[in-house]
Amino acid sequence: MGCFVSTPEDSGGKRRRPGNIGEVSVFVPGLRIPKPVDFSESLGDHLCKSLVERLSALRTRIVVMAGQEAPSITRTRRRNATQHGGSTLGDLLQALEDYLPVLLGLVKDGSPLQHKVQYTWINQEDESEEVGMYSAWYEVLSVLHLMAALSLSQANLLLLPRTSTDGYLPKVSEESRRSAIDVLLKAAGYLDCAVKHILPQLSPEHRRDLPVDLAEGVLRALCLQALGQGVDIQLGLAIDSTKATLAVKRRLACEMVKYWQQAQDNITNLPLANGWGEKHRFYVKWKYIEAKAAAYYYHGLILDEGNTEKSHGMAVSALQAADEYLKESKRACEAFNTAVPISRTPPLWGTMKYLSEKIPKDTSSKVRINRDLYTYEKIMETAPTLPDFALALKPDEYQLPDVDPSWNDENVNKGQNGNNKD
């Protein structure tokens, strides 16, 4: 069967979007919300009553929690990051993890039951308000996407600076940064599984009808964003470490550029629109530019260690490029924050706090000639090529859980025999 698409015009416009999402360290598009499903009508003649009721109860729990809590999750505030926001995320993630093993029974061994129920979800980045499909694999894909989005939200909460006990400027503790890396890798694992193992299960027709929220390019981009931000945190930790060499910092910065470049490449030609989608595009562009500022800065410092006039000239070019990218990143950040829903950048910390101070200072000290002679175009033309490093950070290897034991032959046969024994 095909899919059913409901647009904002014919559905009464139920897609809810906040006007302001507060502080953003890790961007997550608005959460896709599932709409209610009547399993008994579609599966009552095929499964025992208890199994139908369990499916219904598990999914209804998600529908209710996601519908009620999504706005509070999306609008992050530091004051509730470790209280209501954190517990809400954990509870909803647990509800999804409880649902998945039971849901997978519908696709076990290519069961025809996978096409019996229409699953409808409210989109955020697609033009269509909602998309429904008679496909349990679409439901699995939507669940994994939501699990990844919740994990990215957890990482955002962990990376919002908090006022320190010693009274200094707000900062993010090393423990929170390391925890955020773990959560980001987990999110990347969900998305990597979705791309490699779930999308191939969908028919060509269903893949064509997927909302842009679940397009392969968006899933890959979100995965790469998670990895790119993980490397960004690693770079910040390296900056704080007295043992990390310039070579290590340059490698991390150059890897970060590749992650963000690949993320941008994956969404370049996709019809991301309607607020969240446009904001997503702005975010990737901002982080890509920011990463280039870091990479050119550390590349310039290493080139400056050379003793030749040529290496010094290349170092100056690299540092000038870093300075220009830093200025450009501030403009890109402003474009992101002013795009609806509007947002704020938390107080600078970590990598960008350090670089926003060091890049202008070191660039001006190295450039001893009139900088007015250098246009933006001239600087970018003469900037040396960044070294190419293999990407080291990989997603966690996430595997779908085993089918729940409630899916035994007896329970399935009971339903097919007319539910006489329930």
Q: Is 15 a domain residue? A: no
Q: State yes or no: pLDDT of 161 exceeds 70.
A: yes
Q: State yes or no: pLDDT of 338 exceeds 60.
A: yes
For range 229-234, the mean pLDDT: 97
Q: At what angle do helices 136-158 and 84-103 cross, to 10 degrees?
A: 160
Q: State yes or no: pLDDT of 107 exceeds 80.
A: yes
- Spatial strand order of the sheet with 3-6 comes to 3-6, 130-133, 119-122, 33-34
Give dist(CA 349, CA 357) in Å, integer. Answer: 11
> pLDDT tens across 199-216, in order?
999 999 999 999 999 999
Instruction: Give the largest Cα separation in the chain, rounded.
Output: 90
For range 275-302, the mean pLDDT: 94
Look up tokens 């899919």; give the residue: 3
Q: Is 328 a domain residue? A: yes
pLDDT score for 84? 40
320 and 183, same domain (yes or no) = no
294 and 184, same domain (yes or no) = no
50 and 141, same domain (yes or no) = yes
Most confident region among 27-36, 152-161, 413-422 by mean pLDDT? 152-161
| Range of the structural domain that residue 280 is part of | 247-396
For range 129-151, the mean pLDDT: 96
pLDDT score for 187? 98
Q: Is 40 a domain residue? A: yes
96 and 189, same domain (yes or no) = yes
> pLDDT tens across 47-80, in order?
999 999 999 999 999 999 998 877 666 665 544 4
145 and 278, same domain (yes or no) = no
121 and 36, same domain (yes or no) = yes
Higher-confidence position of 367 and 98: 98
* Lowest mean pLDDT, pick from 70-74, 187-191, 304-308: 70-74
List, in sequence order, every residue forming a beta bridge with 130; answer none if it has no partner.
Answer: 6, 122
Tokens of 232: 């960004």
200 and 315, same domain (yes or no) = no
Q: Is 332 a domain residue? A: yes
Q: State yes or no: pLDDT of 159 exceeds 50.
A: yes
Residues 228 and 291 sit within 8 Å (Cβ to Cβ): yes
Q: How confident is the model at residue 167 (pLDDT cuts 50, 70, 90)?
A: low
104 and 189, same domain (yes or no) = yes
282 and 196, same domain (yes or no) = no
114 and 198, same domain (yes or no) = yes
92 and 185, same domain (yes or no) = yes
Most confident region among 113-127, 342-356, 391-405 by mean pLDDT? 391-405
Q: How confident is the model at residue 370 (pLDDT cuts 50, 70, 90)?
A: very low
Q: What is the mean pLDDT of the chain?
A: 87
Displacement of CA 365 from its chain's centroid (Å): 38
List, in sequence order, every residue forming a beta bridge with 138; answer none if it has no partner.
Answer: none
Q: How confident is the model at residue 43 (pLDDT cuts 50, 70, 90)?
A: very high
> pLDDT tens across 344-364, in order?
988 888 899 999 999 999 988
Q: Is 238 a domain residue? A: no
Q: State yes or no: pLDDT of 417 exceeds 70.
A: no
Q: Is 62 a domain residue? A: yes
pLDDT score for 306? 86
pLDDT score for 380? 60
Q: For the chain, what is the domain count?
A: 2
- Percent of the chain's residues with pLDDT above 90: 67
Q: State yes or no: pLDDT of 416 exceeds 60.
A: no
pLDDT score for 240? 94
Q: Is 126 helix (H, G, I), strand (E, B) or coil?
A: coil
205 and 270, same domain (yes or no) = no
What b/e string do you get for 125-145 counting C-beta neighbours within 10 Å, with b at 16 or more? bbebbbbbbbbbbbbbbbbbb
Q: State yes or no: pLDDT of 82 exceeds 50.
A: no
State the CATH number of the domain containing residue 202: 1.25.40.280
Q: Is 405 a domain residue? A: no
Q: Is 276 a domain residue? A: yes
